[in-house]
Amino acid sequence: MFKGLGTAMITPFDADGAVDYSALEKIVDGQLKGNVDALFVCGTTGEPPTMSASERDKVVRSVIEQVNGKIPVFVGTGSNDCAHAVELSKHAQAMGADGVLAVTPYYNKCTQEGLYLYYKAINDAIDIPVVAYNVPGRTGVNMKPETVEKLTSLSNIRGVKEASGNIAQILETSRRIRGSQINLYSGDDCIAVPIMSVGASGLISVASNAIPATVSEMIHAWLDGNVAKALDMQMKYKPFFDAMFLEVNPIPVKTACALLGMCEPYMRLPLTTLTDGNRQTLEKIMKDLAIL
């Protein structure tokens, strides 16, 4: 498992709604040059619910081929149908993924035992690392610290991406899995350094789509023991990190990437382009921080 920065990648679309593979190649190249430590493809930020199976496959294969083993590539395989999540995870392994990111089942609102059995089914089906993903604001289900601790009995569960925003809960999760095979990762850019201070191994980031080198520098400053620098960067870039949620992710970050010339600012419905007012706010923040 990696330590440092993983980017939760966007999927670029053109004006006609097709996947823009030229832009995708440019984005991956920028990530590699920006010294990120892992890429996460077709997770929430990549808009996979609006993509066909063949589109997802082509995007995943394109990224894996371009990365060519330089850093790990994880594929989003979570579902509210456990059997489907297992099949997606097996397929990701067959395509050459280095690991999978499996969000907790959404909408069904299963029990904590259901969460454990879901991850056990994925764990038992593949031989590559699994990162569990807790984001109750999207899924309607919160994976409790004692459930994450229970996952330490499963050998392929090697990470947990924590995006609950509840520092007390994240601290308790970190306490319970400390010394196990499970690495804790922040799922929120705006509190990455605080979460690393309670034991996280890194950040799985939205903002690093746009500013990979900057976010990598912040995370590695902490890992290298330069606490003051890491905190200074966390504070400096907080307005940009916060702006990534002016509207629902990935609308703002895809807009930021478009402003930087990486891609077009298009989403697939039901996601929409950033409103004019929020676009102006984002542009101002980016100019104030010399990102743009």
Residues tagged active-site: 133, 161
Residue 87 CB coordination number (10 Å): 14
110 closest CA partner among 76, 85, 128: 85
Give the separation between CA 177 and CA 204, rounded to whole angstroms: 18
Give the separation between CA 162 and CA 159, rounded to whole angstroms: 10
102: part of which helix (H) or strand (E)?
A: strand 99-103
Establish how many alpha carbons lie within 13 A of residue 138's alpha carbon, considering only the half-sphere containing its beta carbon. 20
DSSP secondary structure code for residue 70 in this structure: S
Paired strand residues for 8: 40
26 closest CA partner among 76, 72, 69, 63: 63
